Structure 1
Amino acid sequence: MPRPRSQQVSLSDTPYYHCISRCVRRAFLCGKDAVTGKDFEHRRGWIENRLLFLAQVFAIDVCAYAVMSNHIHVVLHVDEKEAKGWTTREVIERWHKLHKGTLFTQKYIRGEELSKAVLEIIELTAETYRKRLMDISWFMRDLSEPIARQANVEDSCTGRFWEGRFKSQALLDESALLACMAYVDLNPLRAKIADTPESSYFTSVKKRVESAKKAEQPKELIPFIGNEKENQPSGIAFKLKDYLDLVDLTGRIIREDKRGSIDLSLSPILQRVGISHENWLEISTQFESNSSSAVGAESSLTQYSRLNPKTRPNRRCARLLA
């Protein structure tokens, strides 16, 4: 039996999660349907635009994503500190970008005069919204439901478009995070719908490469901030160049089967995260099959299992991350 989502997401263990949503229909989510001849490629744009919009509203950062033909991958970071720093007005304004809110919250935003009792109700409502705006389940709901409605209108049908539950994996440490991000960014290459990371449309790696050409990082994605230091902004504590090199070289290994020829090039970042070259290749190409509800090194999984005794994390992946 599937575990409640509240047992799968624990911010005290990790703020990073890998989520997957799959389409339940025979017809493609995106791409061309070989049976009917209809082309649904434009739906990739729907999903990417919605995903990046939500990242600007929620206290949830997008680390990586890939929009595939019948499913989507996203790697998310919950920024609890950011959400707790919002004022009541900021919380309500953000929520109203997605939902109507209540009659009271609408009056509050318009600046109407309200009684003390009503203001107390609004404060309680805002706290509910604040929790939702850092909740992965609400994020995935606000991503999938509008897409399902648009697709149903386009397909002239009703009923489910997505599976009932999205799959969620906790990424317990930096090694698991980098491996999962590379796995997601290289999905189009493994599916043979792209030849290089920078040509894989509707992926985070393409967006990062396009921004890097202008010596920038995409505002919609969590940034790479380099090595850890005091008073640095929130982000992934590695250099963007290192990550792009790692994705590119890992992609070359997958396509050309030339592991030995570029092992030395892979050394710097893999040594820092403590993964051998052979193990990196396996976990970054078979992330879902090697992993379960939580992914990380043995020490991270042991601590996670103590706090979440009903979980059954995959120890084999932990050994690969050692």
Structure 2
Amino acid sequence: MWEGRFKSQALLDESAVLACMAYVDLNPIRAKMAKMAKTLETSDHASIQYRINAAKKAQQPDNLLPFVGNPRQDMPKGIAYSFKDYCELIDTTGKSIREDKRGYIEEKSPVLERLGVDSEQWLILTAEFEQHFNTAVGSEHLMRPFGIHTQHQRIPDISKAKTLLKHT
């Protein structure tokens, strides 16, 4: 009964991890289960709400990697962005994918700029993530070694990686 319902893709770089996180965090919005409230904090079904509620209590959920800010020497293990930047990006992305909300992703979003992904690519990634990638997600230079490692004669999804994860 569950066969084929769930997929897993190898996330090969930070662009892939962030796009997947955003895809998951925005799933209730895309599915129209949640109305995009004024903020993510007031949206009943947004999965990012778990992190927001923990942050309000100055806590870090044990089962999630922390946001550790910009890359630096002696960086702790975690997601190399600020939680504030990620929340702003998710909020704007959510408003952009909903027909009843006006949202616009700035070309100079700090997170997208660091990822090297433009706003058009980002919207496609976060709205249609599963439709474009079946085995692995990452930049082209990481897809080739992954294909060799997994003994694929032809590297699956590499054309999508070239298009959607090209660095600007």
| Structure-to-structure mapping, 1:224-239, within 5 angstroms | 224-239=67-82
1:181 matched to 2:21: yes
Deviation of residue 219 (structure 1)?
2.8
Identity %: 48
Amino acid at match of 2:15: S
**Count of paired positions:** 159
Contact kept? 1:188, 1:200, Cα under 8 Å: no
**Structure 1 CA distance for aligned equivalents of residues 130 and 27 of structure 2:** 12
Contact kept? 1:290, 1:316, Cα under 8 Å: no
1:195 matched to 2:35: yes
1:272 matched to 2:114: yes
Name the larger-Rg structure: 1
Deviation of residue 181 (structure 1)?
0.6
Unpaired runs of 5+ residues, structure 2, are none
Deviation of residue 172 (structure 1)?
0.7
Deviation of residue 165 (structure 1)?
8.0
**Structure 1 CA distance for aligned equivalents of residues 44 and 160 of structure 2:** 27
* Equivalent position of 1:169 in the other structure: 9
**Structure 2 CA distance for aligned equivalents of residues 164 and 253 of structure 1:** 30
* Equivalent position of 1:289 in the other structure: 131
Instruction: Please state whether the residue corresponding to 2:65 is helix, strand or coil.
Output: coil
**Structure 2 CA distance for aligned equivalents of residues 202 and 246 of structure 1:** 14
| Structure-to-structure mapping, 1:1-322, within 5 angstroms | 24=1, 162-163=2-3, 166-196=6-36, 197-198=40-41, 199-201=43-45, 203=47, 205-256=48-99, 258=102, 261-264=104-107, 267-310=109-152, 312-318=155-161, 319-322=163-166
Deviation of residue 284 (structure 1)?
0.8
**Structure 2 CA distance for aligned equivalents of residues 164 and 244 of structure 1:** 32
Deviation of residue 215 (structure 1)?
3.7
Deviation of residue 258 (structure 1)?
4.5
**Structure 2 CA distance for aligned equivalents of residues 258 and 315 of structure 1:** 33
Q: Which has the higher contact order (CA 8 A, sep 6+)?
A: 2
- What is the TM-score with the length of structure 1 in the denominator? 0.45
- What is the TM-score with the length of structure 2 in the denominator? 0.83
Q: Does 185-194 or 303-312 show the bigger shift?
A: 303-312
Contact kept? 1:293, 1:312, Cα under 8 Å: no
Contact kept? 1:296, 1:317, Cα under 8 Å: no
Amino acid at match of 2:82: K
Q: Mark the CA change 1:249 to 1:304 in structure 2 (over 3 Å): closer, same or farther.
A: same
Deviation of residue 285 (structure 1)?
0.3
Q: Mark the CA change 1:231 to 1:263 in structure 2 (over 3 Å): closer, same or farther.
A: closer
Unpaired runs of 5+ residues, structure 1, are 1-23, 25-161
Structure 1 runs of 4+ with >3 Å offset: 256-259
**Structure 2 CA distance for aligned equivalents of residues 303 and 200 of structure 1:** 41
Instruction: Please state whether the residue corresponding to 1:212 is helix, strand or coil.
Output: helix
**CA RMSD of superposed structures (Å):** 2.3
Amino acid at match of 1:174: E
**Structure 2 CA distance for aligned equivalents of residues 222 and 167 of structure 1:** 22
Amino acid at match of 1:255: R
Instruction: Please state whether the residue corresponding to 2:109 is helix, strand or coil.
Output: helix
Deviation of residue 166 (structure 1)?
4.5
Instruction: Kindly provide the CA deviation profile for residues 273-306 of structure 1, in whole angstroms up to 9, marking residues without a partner as x.
Output: 0101111110110000011100111111122122
**Structure 1 CA distance for aligned equivalents of residues 44 and 131 of structure 2:** 23
